[in-house]
């Protein structure tokens, strides 16, 4: 019998087999047919330390023995209180308020609603949101609206709201980015907020831009009062070499979105942090100005306990040293394939290595080209989980990956490149 499961971002009509995973550990997935597969993409960027870190698993088991979901409107619980206090203690001091949700998309939806609520409640309504070209912030209607338009959201285009588009800071064209942002922030219809993925645009193809540009974009927003929303759903928790990517530019946003590595990637949870100004704009004795957002699973206690254990790991273990070391080991291997004629633009930021595959005419292959699935199948046959974004290939393993597994990933990539250069 065929499975009734409808998988995400999967064309079932192609009939590709869907492996059954029965166990995870460290940098590996184990399948029902006995394969050990190296997770070269941290299971869609969520797994930071490694699968099933013992302290996170223990915290989940311990919390599950005491309390499951409770309503979070007007009620609270210790894991949520401890987690919020500890997040505020380690994140930039201006971010004083923690709002819980359950995915990266909802963290971004919350950020957008907080921003619009702010402007409405202070009696100076601003509505327009600005986004950076090639961005991705999620797959809900609101987050698709502030993300790149393309084949993935064509069917829903009539429902997406209008946003101001700031060109990506391509090398040599950074001033265009800054001038456009400046013009869109100000003028007769000033922008409510600008949302960005700091330093690297993930789903847009692992496109990297310099910290100095991030800092300048933040300064322009500050000048115009436009709220600056940092979506660190992918970049947070060490991915780019620091706890937050914003740190590398000395940027403190007005609103910060975190998810994925918040629980070490073990269980869904997200937070949207905000400054006092955002919170105060909603604070009143008038119920009409409260923040009208919730979801059933807000601040799930088991997920919050997992996140507290993640913070313990960050406190007690040399996580940043592991991140630095993984970056160095990625760079050494990337350097060995960097000059290959089948790749372009090799780059690395923190633990993330990326490059484009080019066709024999020296051009990138395009988003729906067959090359991504071909590399995925090639790697899969060698027990490596890779999932290129169109012609952009990236390697983003959990921090615990050892040299043998990292070598296996690069060996699979290298012989794919060789086959492509020869064919």
Chain positions contacting ligand PMP, by CB under 6 A: 45, 103-105, 108, 136-138, 197, 202-203, 231, 233-234, 259
CB of 202 to ligand PMP, least distance (A): 4
How buried is residue 382: exposed, middle or buried, by Cβ count under 10 Å (0-12/13-18/19+)?
Answer: middle
H/E stretch holding 355 = strand 352-357
Residue 182 or 197 with smaller CB distance to ligand PMP? 197
Report the alpha-carbon distance of residue 8 to residue 183 in Å, rounded. 38
Residue 41 or 417 with smaller CB distance to ligand PMP? 41
Q: Can you give the three-state secondary structure of 124-192, one letter per residue?
A: CCCCCEEEECCCCCCCCHHHHHCCCCCCCCHHHHHHCCCCEEECCCCCCCHHHHHHHHHHHHCCCCCCC
Residue 231 or 405 with smaller CB distance to ligand PMP? 231
CB of 187 to ligand PMP, least distance (A): 28
How buried is residue 404: exposed, middle or buried, by Cβ count under 10 Å (0-12/13-18/19+)?
Answer: exposed
Residue 394 or 410 with smaller CB distance to ligand PMP? 394
CB of 206 to ligand PMP, least distance (A): 11
On whether the CB atoms of residues 34 and 22 are closer than 8 A, the answer is: no
CB of 166 to ligand PMP, least distance (A): 16
Residue 103 or 145 with smaller CB distance to ligand PMP? 103
Residue sitting closest to ligand PMP (CB): 104
Structure tokens at 103: 């995915």
CB of 174 to ligand PMP, least distance (A): 21
Q: How far is CA 7 from CA 13, 45, 383, 423, in A?
A: 12, 18, 21, 33
Tell me the sheet residues that pair with 196. Answer: 230
Residue 79 or 138 with smaller CB distance to ligand PMP? 138
CB of 55 to ligand PMP, least distance (A): 23
Of 289, 306, 244, 259, nearest in space to 113 by CA: 289
């Amino acid at each position: 019998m065929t499975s009734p499961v409808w998988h995400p971002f999967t064309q079932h009509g192609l009939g590709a087999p869907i492996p059954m995973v029965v166990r995870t550990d460290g940098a590996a997935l184990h399948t029902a047919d006995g394969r050990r597969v190296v997770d070269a993409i941290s299971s869609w960027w969520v797994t930071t330390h490694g699968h099933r870190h013992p302290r996170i698993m223990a915290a989940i088991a311990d919390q599950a023995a005491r309390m499951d979901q409770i309503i979070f409107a007007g009620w609270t619980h210790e894991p949520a209180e401890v987690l919020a206090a500890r997040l505020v203690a380690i994140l930039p001091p201006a971010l004083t308020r923690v709002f819980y949700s359950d995915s990266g998309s909802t963290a971004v939806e919350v950020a957008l609603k907080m921003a619009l609520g702010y402007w409405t409640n202070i009696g100076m309504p601003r509505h327009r949101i600005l986004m950076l070209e090639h961005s991705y912030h999620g797959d809900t209607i609101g987050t698709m609206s502030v993300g790149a338009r393309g084949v993935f959201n064509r069917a829903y285009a009539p429902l997406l709201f209008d946003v101001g588009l700031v060109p990506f800071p391509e090398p040599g064209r950074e001033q265009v980015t800054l001038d456009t942002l400046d013009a869109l922030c100000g003028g007769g219809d000033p922008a409510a907020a600008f949302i960005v993925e700091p330093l690297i645009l993930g789903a847009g193809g692992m496109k990297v831009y310099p910290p100095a540009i991030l800092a300048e974009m933040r300064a322009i927003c500050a000048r115009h009062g436009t709220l600056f929303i940092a979506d660190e759903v992918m970049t947070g928790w060490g991915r780019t070499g620091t706890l937050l990517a914003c740190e590398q530019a000395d940027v403190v946003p007005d609103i910060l979105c975190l998810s994925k590595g918040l629980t070490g990637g073990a269980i869904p949870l997200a937070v949207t942090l905000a400054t006092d100004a955002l919170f105060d704009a909603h604070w009143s004795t008038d119920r009409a100005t409260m923040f009208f957002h919730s979801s059933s699973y807000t601040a799930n206690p088991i997920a919050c306990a997992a996140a507290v254990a993640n913070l313990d790991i960050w406190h007690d273990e040399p996580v940043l040293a592991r991140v630095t070391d993984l970056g160095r080991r990625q760079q050494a291997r990337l350097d060995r394939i960097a000059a290959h004629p089948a790749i372009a633009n090799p780059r690395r930021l923190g633990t993330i290595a990326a490059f484009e595959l080019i066709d024999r005419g020296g051009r990138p292959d395009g988003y729906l080209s067959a090359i991504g699935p071909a590399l995925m199948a090639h790697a899969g046959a060698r027990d490596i989980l890779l999932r290129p974004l169109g012609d952009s290939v990236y390697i983003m393993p959990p921090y615990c990956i050892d040299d043998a597994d990292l070598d296996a990933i690069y060996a699979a990539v290298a012989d794919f490149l060789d086959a492509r250069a020869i064919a």
